[in-house]
A and B are shown apart, each in its own frame.
Chain A
């Protein structure tokens, strides 16, 4: 089967004042797929995004468009982007003027841009009257919605969203989920960098986990969760737990979530055995839990503690 057209980052390295921000990062963003980019603050996500967009030049490695015919340059007009924060617009003029202006820079005629913007903005609940107001008068969430709508006006093949759910109300967040999936089904490739792990879990086909400038995990979301899936039990106690019962030994399977909650990873039989071995623990309830991307994120964070070393 022919490989899907994709934006490819190949062994990208970047340093700032001698400090490595990205260390040989490779990433594939195929059309028709949503890739979630995860990582703690300062992991190098925004640096990678800027290199993909051509706003930053890599010290080593290259970015290209992989097509059936071979390799090509990633033309700026083929990518739509929402940058993190309020770096997407002129706050002193209306949302409509902003949208039309930036779409024109990407070669879209002003009338077409205005029509498309009205349509996309309506999906995020921004009506015609609101679009005529200066963006400075918008709430953070409304500004984000306008930026999201504006990023799609030139009908890009690839869309990069840096923290797209920032400031969005639950309804708009849900609408964005639908839009992201629809765009992927329409054949667009989406890269979504976010700390909103629930959003990533619900939208991304694949997750790339980056930490200290290195990709430490790149896998299909479902497979990743399956891999980390094992029985989890939430054990709530009636009294405060000061320390884990000595009968559990090194207690590898147990983790303390808060003063009265323990997290157990293992089978029901093993859990019962451990609880019987510690009668001093006043168990109030036991509840079976499912693995979320957040649990995986926390687990990977713990496992990858040593990658920070140069």
Chain B
């Protein structure tokens, strides 16, 4: 697995260098965004700079980026690989196709979170503002990630079969925002709703820094695990279907 992780890092870095300007611009946009958050909030809400509201906003944004990054990652990667025609080459390796895509999307999210962390730390140093961050909330983020990977595999399965599902990304992105907002509070008790317990857990623990119970964590874990297994099962089934139909490489 280490060899695969290293290979994905090398390929990712090569792509980053190849499209240097675009990579730099995305970094610039992120800097501007956080800069806007740090200064803009004071301007708009006429509140003192920093404090809990800013922490919530920044950490909320982190959860949002994290969730959407993973959610779209797998399907987007499959679509890109199918367009390039390299999907078959990936399938010829010793690692299952889904492992490659999960790892690739995880790597992308980790890199973007690291970039966000560096920017936030730098801005804290410049502005003197301190954000309240609860490291104990990180496991909640991992539980959330497990479920989101499941959903992403579902989208990936659709991309594997239909090849181009870019419009679906847009629909999901717009639909997901109100769902996240509702799930973190209103759907908090809905254990059967996909991702709702994990979202509630992540916002409560990671963003708000509030205490969580074991029951909340277990419910979120079971919900996320079920989503992951459903996503994985469907992805593998669709992979079998496309291999039977012979349209793995077709775009």
Contacts and interface: CB of A to CB of B under 8 A. Distances in A.
A101 B249 CA distance: 19
A87 B89 contact: yes
Given A75-B94, A107-B94, A134-B18, A97 B88 contact: no
B7 A83 contact: no
Contacts of A50: 88, 246
Nearest to B91: A55
A73 B216 CA distance: 45
**Centre residue among A16, A54, A94, A97 by max chain B CB count within 10 A:** A97
B7 A87 contact: no
Chain B interface bracket (under 10, 10 to 19, 20 to 34, 35 or more): 20 to 34
Interface stretch (B8-16, B28-36, B110-118, B228-236): B8-16
B52 to A, nearest CB: 45
B84 to A, nearest CB: 6
Nearest to B85: A87
A56 B246 contact: yes
A101 B244 contact: no
Contact of B86 (A16, A79, A90): A90
Nearest to B93: A105
Nearest to A107: B94
Interface in B99-143: 100
A261 interface: no
Contacts of B182: none
B95 interface: yes
Interface string A53-81: 11111000000000000000001110101
A201 interface: no
A90 B243 contact: no
A57 B240 contact: yes
Contacts of A104: 3-4, 6-7, 10
A121 to B, nearest CB: 17
Interface string B48-91: 00000000000000000000000000000000000011101111
A304 B68 CA distance: 58
Interface in B140-194: none
Contacts of B249: 55, 87
A91 interface: yes
A106 interface: yes
B244 to A, nearest CB: 5
A106 B7 contact: no
A88 interface: yes
Contacts of B84: 90-91
Nearest to A100: B10
A254 interface: no
A81 B3 contact: no
B243 A97 contact: no
B14 A97 contact: yes
Nearest to B241: A57
A14 B244 CA distance: 9
B248 interface: yes
18 contacts: A54-B91, A55-B91, A56-B248, A79-B92, A87-B85, A87-B249, A88-B89, A92-B15, A94-B14, A100-B7, A104-B6, A105-B7, A105-B89, A105-B92, A105-B93, A107-B3, A108-B3, A110-B3
